[in-house]
């Protein structure tokens, strides 16, 4: 059985750990990595699979029972199925998922399933190849679609497709993507464009709000019914008149910080307790210096029990909102980037 989770200052439990296994990526999505050059984490600092596994054990002893493998692009990490197998073997882990851009998915999907991965989320912002090339700055759309098509035949269920919905960019595809999700089959989740670190091209004008998304989908489909959120995921779920479900992650206009149980471990072992946090806790150094299980436990406990982050709520209160972190600051600290801390 999972441990009783420790709770933070707002009584939010420590439950959900997102593990970034690399800061590298084979795409350059304009909402995440729009710049021409990036500063990468030194390779010697990257946690080994054994180190990731050891830290996961400590987190699990404090309440974590959901783990998501992410990045950067997680499938760029060599031998990723070996890590998945190590994590999948942990008793008490209720949910083991991965978020990927899908480019390398078709080649890895069978090994990932065999290793024990529970669920896959694939990011897909458009069904149009030319638009995908503009948005991701790479010509990989066919491989992504092939990756998505490979998931169900490999035996995965509960698949999700994550779409960052942006005004004037892909907001004319909400219906097409919803229809596409049905065929996969996968539940589509529309994510509001966030002004997180790395999103240097962000502007409020580009945000398509949850309210607008619902209004556009209602115009097409008719009345939409809100569903009760049963799995604690950040997406609010809805049902179309024909029973198709979809989600909206309204991090920008209606943040869900009040129930946020997630934290993020970077590929080099920095632990961030909010997507907007500017400071994290270095777990790699104590681990490599021989800290005991109990010492790591007490370090994590001290940080979580004093957590009072509500980054997205605080951003909402901001007037004249511009990108969260200036470019010069990002360049001096790659840990502030979304692709480093794992979305
Ligand atoms: N590379 C993988 C992928 O794209 O699925 C995993 C890492 S990526 C950082 C995780 C998620 O963050 C993706 O679904 C991506 O769309 C989302 N994301 C990145 N930048 C974002 C932004 N500025 N606003 C909203 N979502 C964003
Ligand atoms: Fe795009 Fe994911 Fe890569 Fe960011 S990390 S550029 S969202 S594929
Ligand atoms: Fe959680 Fe921070 Fe996101 Fe709010 S902004 S939901 S506290 S990670």
Mean pLDDT of 132-161: 98
Ligand minimally distant from the alpha carbon of residue 34: 2
**Structural domains for the chain:** 16-341 (3.20.20.70)
In the reported structure, the alpha carbon of residue 99 is separated from the centroid of ligand 1 by a whole-number distance in angstroms of: 9
For 255-266, what is each residue's pLDDT tens digit?
A: 999 999 999 999
Report which of residues 235 and 160 the model is more confident about.
160
Specify the pTM: 0.97
Protein residue closest via CA to atom 19 of ligand 1: 32
Could you tell me if 217 and 178 are in contact, meaning their C-beta atoms sit under 8 angstroms apart?
Answer: yes
Protein residue closest via CA to atom 6 of ligand 3: 257
Could you count the other beta carbons within 10 Å of the beta carbon of residue 119?
Answer: 16
Q: Check pocket membership of 99 for ligand 1, CB cut-off 6 A.
A: yes
Please give the pLDDT value at position 231: 66
Q: Check pocket membership of 101 for ligand 1, CB cut-off 6 A.
A: yes
Please give the pLDDT value at position 196: 92
For the record, the structure tokens of 335 come out as: 């840990």
Helix/strand number for the chain, H first, E second: 12, 12
Mean pLDDT of 153-166: 98
Please give the pLDDT value at position 319: 79
Query: What mean pLDDT, rounded, does the chain reach?
Result: 95
Q: Check pocket membership of 252 for ligand 1, CB cut-off 6 A.
A: no
For 79-136, what is each residue's pLDDT tens digit?
A: 999 999 999 999 999 999 999 999 999 999 999 999 999 999 999 999 999 999 999 9
Q: Check pocket membership of 342 for ligand 3, CB cut-off 6 A.
A: no
Please give the pLDDT value at position 318: 86
Whether residue 227 has pLDDT greater than 90? yes
In the reported structure, the alpha carbon of residue 146 is separated from the centroid of ligand 1 by a whole-number distance in angstroms of: 19
Q: Check pocket membership of 73 for ligand 2, CB cut-off 6 A.
A: yes
In the reported structure, the alpha carbon of residue 9 is separated from the centroid of ligand 2 by a whole-number distance in angstroms of: 32
> Rounded to whole angstroms, how far apart are CA atoms 214 and 199?
24
Backbone angles phi, psi at 226, to 5 degrees: -70, 140
Angle at 263 between CA 20 and CA 144, to 5 degrees: 40
Mean pLDDT of 282-308: 98
In the reported structure, the alpha carbon of residue 296 is separated from the centroid of ligand 2 by a whole-number distance in angstroms of: 31
Could you tell me if 84 and 116 are in contact, meaning their C-beta atoms sit under 8 angstroms apart?
Answer: yes
In the reported structure, the alpha carbon of residue 261 is separated from the centroid of ligand 3 by a whole-number distance in angstroms of: 8
The interaxial angle of helices 141-151 and 105-115, nearest 10 deg, is 30
Whether residue 62 has pLDDT greater than 80? yes
Task: Indicate the top mutation candidate among 8, 260, 317 to test ligand 3's pocket, ranked by most ligand atoms within 8 A of CB.
Answer: 260
In the reported structure, the alpha carbon of residue 153 is separated from the centroid of ligand 2 by a whole-number distance in angstroms of: 25
């Amino acid at each position: 059985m999972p441990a009783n989770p420790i709770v933070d200052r707002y009584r939010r439990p420590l439950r959900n750990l997102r593990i970034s296994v690399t800061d590298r990526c084979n795409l350059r999505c304009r909402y995440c990595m729009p710049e021409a050059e990036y500063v990468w984490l030194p390779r010697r600092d990257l946690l080994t699979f054994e180190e990731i596994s050891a830290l996961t054990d400590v987190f699990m002893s404090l309440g974590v029972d959901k783990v998501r493998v992410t990045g950067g692009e997680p499938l760029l990490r060599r031998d990723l199925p070996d890590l998945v197998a190590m994590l999948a073997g942990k008793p008490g882990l209720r949910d083991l998922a991965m978020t990927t851009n899908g480019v390398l998915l078709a080649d890895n999907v069978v090994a990932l399933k065999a290793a024990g991965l529970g669920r896959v989320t694939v990011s897909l912002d458009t069904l149009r190849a030319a638009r995908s090339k503009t948005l991701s700055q790479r010509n990989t759309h066919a491989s992504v679609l092939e990756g998505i098509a490979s998931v169900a035949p490999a035996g995965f269920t509960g698949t999700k497709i994550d779409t960052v919905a942006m005004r004037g960019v892909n907001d004319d595809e909400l219906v097409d993507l919803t229809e596409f999700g049905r065929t996969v089959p996968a539940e589509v989740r529309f994510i509001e464009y966030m002004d997180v670190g790395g999103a240097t091209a962000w502007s409020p004008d580009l945000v398509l709000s949850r309210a607008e998304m619902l209004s556009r989908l209602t115009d097409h489909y008719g009345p939409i019914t809100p569903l009760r959120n049963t799995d604690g995921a950040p997406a609010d779920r809805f049902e179309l008149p024909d029973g198709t479900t979809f989600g909206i992650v309204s991090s920008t206009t209606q943040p869900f910080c009040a129930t946020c149980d997630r934290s993020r471990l970077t590929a080099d072992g920095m632990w961030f307790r909010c997507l907007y946090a500017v400071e994290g806790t270095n777990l790699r150094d104590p681990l490599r210096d021989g800290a005991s299980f109990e010492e790591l436990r007490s370090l994590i406990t001290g940080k979580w029990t004093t957590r009072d982050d509500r980054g997205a709520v605080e951003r909402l209160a901001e007037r004249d909102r511009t990108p969260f972190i200036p470019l010069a600051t990002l360049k001096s600290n790659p840990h502030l980037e979304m692709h480093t801390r794992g979305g």
